Amino acid sequence: MRKANPLGVIDVLELHRETLNQIHDHAKREFPYECCGIILSGANQEFVRVCRNIQNQRHAEDPETYTRDARKAYLMDPNDQMSVYKESETENRPIKAFYHSHPDHDAYFSDKDIEDATAWGEPTYPNAAYIVISVYNRVIKATRAYAWCDAETEFVEAPIIVKHRLE
Ligand SMILES: [Zn+2]
């Protein structure tokens, strides 16, 4: 059987049920706006770190540069992002995944999502997965994960395996 991601770092994404519940709750809470955050991993643990989406502020200040509002885009608050990166380093909790939601849209990895996750065609965090949550009217419709694949030199879907206990 062909694996989804034969030469990428991440074949499948194992996530704890509680982690999935937390990011789903976040997506519902922020509806109709996109939510965003980062999942860190520790010894048999996962840590969901909610980040503020400042897209609406940027859109209000500078609509020519930030043409979309937070219903169709997200911009992680740089302070929130920095504190998660700091925690990742100081507590030795690697970044497992970035996540964001698509309100009233499907859980595809958009051109903008690819742009955000790469620099000059290379993945910024090749060891991290990117989770997209589709939420319609505060109801979760789908959750998909994507990871960089060296063989295909692009992001491919990595199936999510829900674990009730992390080992
Ligand atoms: Zn997206």
Which pLDDT score is estimated for 152?
87
Q: Please, which pLDDT band fits residue 7 given cuts at 50, 70 and 90?
A: low
Place of tokens 């595809």: 108
pTM above 0.85, yes or no: yes
> What is the domain range of residue 55?
2-163
- CA 67 to centroid of ligand 1, rounded, Å: 15
Beta-ladder partners of 45: 42
Residues 6+ apart with CB under 8 A from 40: 46, 47, 49, 84, 87, 88, 91, 93, 94, 95, 96
131-143: pLDDT as tens digits: 999 999 999 999 9
Mean pLDDT of 66-76: 96
Q: What is the CATH number of the domain that holds 73?
A: 3.40.140.10
In this structure, what DSSP letter does residue 22 have? H
Question: Residue 138 in contact with residue 31, Cβ under 8 Å?
Answer: yes
Q: How far is the CA of 110 from the centre of ligand 1 (A)?
A: 5
Number of structural domains found in the chain: 1
Report angle CA 155, 106, 153 to the nearest 5 degrees: 10
